[in-house]
Structure 1
């Protein structure tokens, strides 16, 4: 297989930065390269964010620019992702921009994990931490899985359907 390159925006809780690197690594092992336009906050900038020295409006503008560049949005789903307002905002904006949105459960998750509200609404796929499943989703094959990779029902307009 020759290398495939995808421009993506990876939405994630910053505590899950290592999972973003892991995602790139498992995909590259299958000849699939991702160019990630998401923001990774350097420690020296975290204090500026914590002190609100950068306005939300500025952050929103930067995130929109980075999402427009990407062809797809991947959301890394960890144990705390559903509590992150910025992740939920990024998912909503990705939907408004017409981007496919792929949720990927973090490596090692076995139990049910709470899904961010907007990911429940707008995901085009939600898959376990397996390169083949992620590549299928990036290739446009919609699928919904549990964290362990088993099939999951997709909720559409208040109705559960199995995909």
Structure 2
């Protein structure tokens, strides 16, 4: 089975260090990560239009097999992150959230992630992220990597 994965990692540009760390950690786990997201280190020195940025992002998200949202303390404030998540949903991509290193339960999720994403996983859950990249289903968890308690609902049957 090939461990080469095309991913788009949505993130706030101030979290670039976490982006590079995540890719390095996945590479050490044996994955060959081909990242389609925009890296601040590769920015052009001139300003481009929002329409051009949007077109470029759509193409990169479409190219990816998995969409990962790197969730830091200010990610929820970034309009491009919400745009990217909406595009990933529109294109039918699997949307995975991973909390940046050091984030706690108080981190707010981006609005689009709340609507279209699943349960985010903790920074130290590389095995779970690897399973997700390989197409396996994993249980939801808290930012610290502990299992998230899901509510148990009683089924009430009503005769009509």
Using structure 2 for the length normalisation, give the TM-score: 0.84
1:127 corresponds to: 121
| 1:98 matches 2:92 | yes
Corresponding position: 1:150 with 2:149: no
Please state which structure has a larger fraction of its residues in strand.
Answer: 1
CA contact (8 A) 1:91 1:118 kept: yes
- 1:128-159 deviation per Cα after TM superposition (whole angstroms, max 9, x unaligned): 112112112222314322110122367xxxxx
Tell me by how many angstroms 1:27 deviates.
Answer: 1.1
Q: Which ranges of 4 or more aligned residues in structure 1 deviate by more than 3 Å?
A: 42-46
| 2:61 is the alignment partner of 1:62 | no
2:29 counterpart residue number: 30
Structure 2: 5+ residue stretches without partners? 154-160
User: Which protein has the larger Cα radius of gyration, Structure 1 or Structure 2?
Assistant: 2
Q: 1:101 to 1:161 in 2, by over 3 A?
A: farther
Match of 1:84 among 39, 53, 78: 78
The change in CA–CA distance for 1:7 and 1:43 in structure 2 (over 3 A counts) is closer
Which shows bigger deviation, 21-30 or 137-146? 137-146
Cα distance 1:20–1:64, how it changes in 2: closer, same or farther (>3 A)?
Answer: same
Q: Which runs of 5+ in 1 are unaligned?
A: 155-159
Task: Write the distance in 1 (CA, Å) between the matches of 2:11 and 2:109.
Answer: 12
Paired with 1:3 and 1:23, the residues of 2 have a C-alpha distance of: 19
Match of 2:134 in 1: 139
User: For the residues of structure 2 that align with 1:135 and 1:44, how far apart are their CA atoms?
Assistant: 29
